[in-house]
């Protein structure tokens, strides 16, 4: 048995506009009246750059309807993220999309003048991934309008359980420094 003392890491907070917050959604679209992902992106990209986190199938659908989507899962030059406010050739703002959580972690999207719109249309695999994903835009006091699209849960419990099981297995196998992560193995 592994007892985690460092659960605080999953209570990730973000400083936005000088205030510590737990990132949440500014707007939610669920049920029969909800727009499609492509329609929502098209409506928002005329005023702000847009970041989308969706399923792989959602990314395929979005790419079929919008040709200028920047796939974060395949991005080679991350300097483009430092100036998300540059417009595309069609006069609209850029649309960035990720289907992998790893593409949402560790990247900073900058839109200091306009702010960004973050549209989430998929469940995250853990509370920490949710917090990190929701905080990718809106850092450094940039404005961020977070939108949840669809009736999906914020965190997929099956994926979350798998993450914890892998972490516990690593601790039991001695792959984690127990002192560093304040873990106790045993009864």
* pLDDT at residue 142 in the model: 75
Which one, of 98, 97, 121, 96, lies nearest residue 111 by Cα? 96
Are 125 and 13 within 8 A, CB to CB? no
Three-state SS for 2? strand
CA 44, CA 30: separation in Å to the nearest integer? 17
Report CA 123 to chain centroid distance, whole Å: 10
Per-residue pLDDT of the chain (187 residues; tens, 9 = 90+): 333 333 333 344 555 455 555 567 788 888 778 899 999 999 999 999 999 999 889 899 999 988 889 888 777 777 777 778 888 888 899 999 988 877 776 667 778 888 889 999 988 887 777 877 777 776 667 788 889 988 777 777 766 566 667 667 777 777 766 565 554 444 4
* pLDDT at residue 42 in the model: 92
């Amino acid at each position: 048995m592994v007892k985690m003392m460092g659960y605080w890491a999953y209570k990730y907070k973000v400083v936005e506009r000088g205030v510590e917050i737990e990132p949440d959604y500014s707007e939610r679209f669920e049920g029969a009246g909800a727009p499609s992902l492509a329609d929502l992106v098209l409506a928002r990209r005329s005023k702000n750059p847009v970041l989308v986190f969706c399923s792989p199938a959602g990314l395929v659908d979005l790419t079929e309807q919008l040709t200028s989507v920047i796939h974060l899962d395949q991005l080679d030059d991350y300097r483009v993220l430092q100036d998300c406010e540059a417009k595309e050739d069609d006069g609209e703002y850029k649309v960035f999309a990720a289907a992998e959580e790893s593409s949402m972690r560790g990247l900073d999207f900058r839109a200091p003048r306009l702010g960004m719109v973050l549209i989430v249309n998929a469940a995250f695999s853990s509370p920490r991934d949710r917090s990190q994903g929701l905080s990718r835009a809106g850092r450094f006091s940039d404005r961020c309008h977070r939108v949840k699209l669809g009736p999906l849960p914020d965190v997929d419990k099956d994926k979350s359980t798998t993450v914890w099981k892998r972490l516990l297995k690593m601790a039991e196998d001695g792959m984690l420094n127990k002192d560093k992560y304040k873990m106790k193995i045993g009864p």
